Structure 1
Amino acid sequence: MREDFLHYLWKYKKFAFAKAKTTSNTSITIIKLGDHNHLAGPDFFNARLAIGDQEWAGNVEIHIKSSDWYAHGHETDAAYNNVILHVVWEHDVDVYRSDNTPIPTLQLKDYVTQDALNNYATLFENQSKKWINCEATLSEVPDPIWNHWHERLYLERLERKTTAIKEILSQSNNDWEGVLFVMLMRSFGTKVNGPSFQSLATHIDFTIIRKCAQEPFRLEALLLGAGGLLSEDSVDSYVLQLQGEYEFVHHKFQLNTEGILPIQFFKLRPDNFPTIRLSQLAMLYYKVPGLFQKLMEVEHLNNFYTILQVEASTYWDTHYSFTTTQKKRVKKLSKAFIDLLLINTIIPIKFAYSQYIGKECTDMILDFMTAIKSEQNNIIKKYNEIRPKTKNALQSQALIQLKSAYCSENKCLQCAVGNWLMGK
């Protein structure tokens, strides 16, 4: 038995509440269940109950056993003095507030159906052998419930990203252009070099990027040099030119590069080599002056692709690194990579910035995400083996949120899928 199951039973009235009585045989009428509290303090705030002929307003505390009241020290905590009902699975001892007044107790096990217990057991049994608790029954959930839950999950994930964006904003003195640069750098670094690229971005004030962006060679030299990618013993003429330019900007702007995380090539496909990605980013800032404002003004998805159609400088047409020459191929941003930039950086910033200026854009964001193809990763692959219908980025982002925030945390009873399976 888990305490969150009891929260679920109370919150959704999944018990014979019309027949409910206290352990002293006094009738209980629920006028208002209360607001579910996920922080410290009683479990449900501002409940209203009639116990016998007396109406009460206050809080509800829930435990597996009545004695948990004392195990948790609530009898000496003033925060629990306004508890008007103690809801437990098993009543094993009477409980009192800090002023020694008794608290009425409801023993839930007397009012819960066997079906509810069976559904609960099915959902949580053999957890160690399952990827997610509902993998055997997820396909039974009706499409309307599943699809609506996707939208709610995506918005929940978007709000989480918005919180992270606001934290970066506060660290950059409310410079939204600087926020975009930091987050683009992380995305251009992909999973392997994302933290290193972000570290590089936070070590270079964005005012320097603005000044250098007018000369793409200078900006490329700045990013490659500060990232430690310009080998001192190279004889490549382009490297030597970059070194000279980097020495100039390093001295001019008094750069402090201590603490920048090392950048690596290991386990990367050539198109994701840090040399290629940093050059592409330098060219993006050169070719699109006022990049932040242009992206924030976009109202049609295709315009994003137009803005982001850039390629690395011409040296990289025949190189992936400074050590070898390759057959000529222009290193432009692929549509798949642009999609990842939109999903992970640009659309979340657009959402956060719209909130910041008081502009409603939720419907536009949802339209963007449903028009972008689904991501492909191990989480999406596993869900599609269970229920193969993931077609767009809104759904794939929703599934990532579902796995990380609910399935992996066993929060099935806070999930729309778990709720439906419990109530079927």
Structure 2
Amino acid sequence: MLFPEDFLHYIWKFRLFDRDRLQTGDGEALEIFSPGLHNSDSGPDFQNARIRIGDTVWAGNIEVHLSSSDWKKHGHAADNAYGNIILHVVYKDDIPLVLPDGRRVPTLELQNRIPDELYSRYHQLIFGEQTIIPCEASIGAVDSLTLHNWLTRVLVERLEKKSVAVTAALALNRGDWEETFYQFLAANFGFKINALPFELLAKSLPQNILAKHKNNPMQIEALVFGQAGFLGEDFKDEYPLKLKEEYGFLQKKYKLAPVETHLWKFMRLRPANFPTIRLAQFAALIIRSNHLFSKLLEIKDVKVLKALFTDIKVNPYWEDHYRFDIASPRSSKNIGEASVDILLLNTMALFLFSYGKYNQQQHFINRSLQLLEHLPCENNKIITDFSNLGVKIKTAFESQALIELKNNYCNYKKCLHCGVGNKILKLA
């Protein structure tokens, strides 16, 4: 048989071996009450196990190796952390294990106790010729409850990792959730391609400056476009000329340094996604709503949350323009529903989760997951592949979890650490 030590850990943890008439290498009867708690840190592999050898009940740690001789190879002989081992579980018992104090550690050999079917399923997962995911031939047999429970756990893992960036930004902003939320929302308005200049814009234009001009839409627009670096040209149209005039005054007043214009990307973007249009929408949102983060914490209805974005109206100038001084056919430039869903997914859901985790308030974490359940699933290759394998995907809750599953479990064949992989290995 060919397998790593992790597979033996898995077999021991879930007791997936033949347990009939167990005995140690010395021929003493062995009974397992508890395999112990799997230890992912340094030290013995399983802690607080309970077993009986002969007539004596033992409680302590258990070490697992492919061969008994691995004990010395791994340097355990000189490590006091391994001095209270009560059982050595191995695939092949090739040498007796004796501790420095002369005590011989009981050994359980599993070489002839691993079911052929279990190994066959494992070998197919790890060494099979799959094209999408290791379990592509079996995932359809996994029941919906198992899949949902595992996707929930994986989704939480994804949000926990993303929340690290939120917490780091919060520290830089001295605990100001409103400012941190504003910066992340701005970056997400860039929709990946222009995320960086949008983020730099928000960091160069704090909310406290915008708040001073909340009753003057023209000045808000001037600050946004000016800080974005789009007001440095000679214009013909009255609207950009007015913005430039307003910004010239405000720039001197607040000693503002605009973002470098070359950072903004127009290439390979549909006109409706040009940064100028996104900036117009962002300015309209700022004009419409102050203290967005506070509103996020208060609003529980997803429809009301969406309305914060879908009901905003950009300056009429943009109805027949995509760029300054260049007229275009008239069309609506308000934020589309698909874009709103992305903003809710990447910003609103993340901040509800991060805020709940940071303040240890579970109901905000629950609201984050519920919000994702009310958003449609994303459309990308990973989701298409899972869908083609028979996985039903309707919401962003499922699509976000599947993206995490693919990128951090399937791609590395971490089937032994995956709830879906575990279920497949245990299927009769």
TM score, norm. by length of structure 2: 0.88
Closer, same or farther: CA 25–351 of 1 in aligned 2, 3 Å: same
Structure 1 residue 350 displacement after superposition = 1.8
**Whole-angstrom CA distance in 1 between matches of 2:363 and 2:284:** 32
Closer, same or farther: CA 116–238 of 1 in aligned 2, 3 Å: same
Task: Report if aligned partners of 1:78, 1:98 keep a CA contact under 8 Å in 2.
Answer: no
Task: Report if aligned partners of 2:64, 2:90 keep a CA contact under 8 Å in 1.
Answer: yes
Q: Paired residue for 2:343?
A: 341
Percent identity, aligned pairs only?
A: 37
Of 25-34 and 178-187, deviating more is 25-34
Task: Report if aligned partners of 1:228, 1:263 keep a CA contact under 8 Å in 2.
Answer: no
Give the unaligned 5+ runs of structure 2.
none
Task: Report if aligned partners of 2:341, 2:375 keep a CA contact under 8 Å in 1.
Answer: yes
**Whole-angstrom CA distance in 2 between matches of 1:259 and 1:69:** 60
Q: Paired residue for 2:64?
A: 62
What is the letter of the counterpart of residue 353 of structure 1?
Answer: Y
Structure 1 residue 246 displacement after superposition = 3.5
Of 405-414 and 252-261, deviating more is 252-261
Q: Paired residue for 1:328?
A: 330
- Match runs of 1:162-201 below 5 Å: 162-201=163-202
Q: Paired residue for 1:270?
A: 271
Of 140-149 and 89-98, deviating more is 89-98
**Whole-angstrom CA distance in 1 between matches of 2:332 and 2:152:** 38
Give the unaligned 5+ runs of structure 1.
none
**Whole-angstrom CA distance in 2 between matches of 1:392 and 1:183:** 23
**Whole-angstrom CA distance in 2 between matches of 1:213 and 1:36:** 56
Task: Report if aligned partners of 1:76, 1:97 keep a CA contact under 8 Å in 2.
Answer: no
What is the letter of the counterpart of residue 34 of structure 1?
Answer: G
**Whole-angstrom CA distance in 1 between matches of 2:255 and 2:103:** 69
**Whole-angstrom CA distance in 1 between matches of 2:228 and 2:62:** 56
Task: Report if aligned partners of 1:199, 1:261 keep a CA contact under 8 Å in 2.
Answer: no
**Whole-angstrom CA distance in 1 between matches of 2:163 and 2:215:** 30
- Match runs of 1:8-407 below 5 Å: 8-95=10-97, 101-127=103-129, 129-232=130-233, 237-255=238-256, 262-309=263-310, 310-322=312-324, 324-355=326-357, 356=359, 358=361, 360-407=363-410
Structure 1 residue 140 displacement after superposition = 1.7
Closer, same or farther: CA 146–248 of 1 in aligned 2, 3 Å: same
Structure 1 residue 91 displacement after superposition = 3.1
What is the letter of the counterpart of residue 300 of structure 1?
Answer: D
Closer, same or farther: CA 50–261 of 1 in aligned 2, 3 Å: farther
Structure 1 residue 231 displacement after superposition = 4.4
Aligned length: 423
Closer, same or farther: CA 13–185 of 1 in aligned 2, 3 Å: same
Task: Report if aligned partners of 1:311, 1:330 keep a CA contact under 8 Å in 2.
Answer: no
TM score, norm. by length of structure 1: 0.89
Structure 1 residue 323 displacement after superposition = 5.8
Task: Report if aligned partners of 2:227, 2:259 keep a CA contact under 8 Å in 1.
Answer: no
**Whole-angstrom CA distance in 2 between matches of 1:44 and 1:259:** 56
Task: Report if aligned partners of 1:275, 1:321 keep a CA contact under 8 Å in 2.
Answer: yes
Structure 1 residue 159 displacement after superposition = 3.0
